[in-house]
Amino acid sequence: MEFTGKIALITGGTRGIGRETGRKLGQKGAELILNYWKNDEAAEKTKTEFEKNRIKVSLIKADIGKPEQIKQMFKKIEKVDIFISNAVYGVVGPAVKIGKFGWSLSMDVNARAYLLCAQESVKRMKDNSGKIVAVSSLGSYKYIPGYTAVGASKAAIEAITRYLAVELAEKGINVNTVSAGPVETDSLKYFKNINDLKKEWINKTPFKRIAKPEEIADVIVFLCSERAKWIQGQTIIVDGGMSIC
């Protein structure tokens, strides 16, 4: 129960990687604050399931793509020990067709929200104990069809992590990123050619499958622990070896 007494805030925390990260932190004693935006049913289902397993959970509905809603969300939060920036959203399409709306949406929800939420979280963290982990993807530096805007926002996330890591080191706050390969989550449905892409990803991965959300969550949880105290400003690739093939 290494996270007993810790409060973990997870954006996009009621589905996919965020949900599994919350489950694992909660099982180890953390109290959870799960942010979500659109899917009330999934949020309530997650809360009910976690509470049945004696995990303390609070839900906060907020569109973190809007700075004013981030401010409102943090008015409800007094303390943060662990901040997981997991929420992701964006427009999928070729680079030559990405417009102002698609670009801004991806950057606002993914990169800007990470920075703003980290700024607010740090105000609520104790020195020498805070942990920040962001979720990125291989699309930050590798070509994925249709992933232009999201991929660029993920690259920005990794850059923000490095800057935060240096500036927050004096407070003893660890800041890192987990870069995930393809994961079996609802987000895959936004790719029109997903069946072809999955075949390609599976063929490129030594284990001949794509990841489960809990396999990414395991690494995030490790980075939130004191065992990862000497890891700072890093982007840890968790892709089953796909990127080396």
pLDDT of residue 40: 95
Q: Is residue 136 part of a domain?
A: yes
* H/E segment holding residue 51: helix 40-52
What was the pLDDT predicted at 163? Answer: 98
The number of distinct structural domains making up the chain is: 1
Which residue range(s) make up the domain with 160?
7-240
Distances (CA, A) of 61 to 11, 14, 40, 46: 10, 11, 8, 14
In a domain, 178, yes or no: yes
- The answer to whether residue 54 sits within a structural domain is yes
Residue 2 lies in a domain: no
Given a contact cutoff of 8 angstroms between Cβ atoms, the answer to whether 164 and 175 are in contact is: yes
Query: What is the predicted pLDDT for the residue at 187?
Result: 75
Selected catalytic residue, list 47, 114, 147, 204 = 147
Q: Is residue 217 part of a domain?
A: yes
Check which CATH number belongs to the domain holding 193 and give it: 3.40.50.720
Query: What is the per-residue pLDDT for 166?
Result: 98
Catalytic residue among 24, 131, 154, 204: 154
Reading across the β-sheet that carries 31-36, which strands appear in turn?
57-61, 31-36, 7-10, 82-85, 131-137, 174-180, 235-238
- Going from the first residue of the chain to its last (245 residues), give the mean pLDDT of each consecutive group of 10, the final group possibly shorter: 96 97 98 96 97 97 97 98 95 92 95 98 93 97 92 98 98 97 83 84 94 97 97 98 94
1 part of a folded domain: no
pTM of the predicted model as reported, rounded to 2 decimal places: 0.95
Is 36 among the domain residues? yes
First and final C-alpha spacing in the chain: 38
Let me know if 154 is a catalytic residue.
yes
Residue 66 annotated as catalytic? no
Written as six digits, the tokens of 61 are: 């509905």
Tell whether 155 is covered by a domain.
Answer: yes
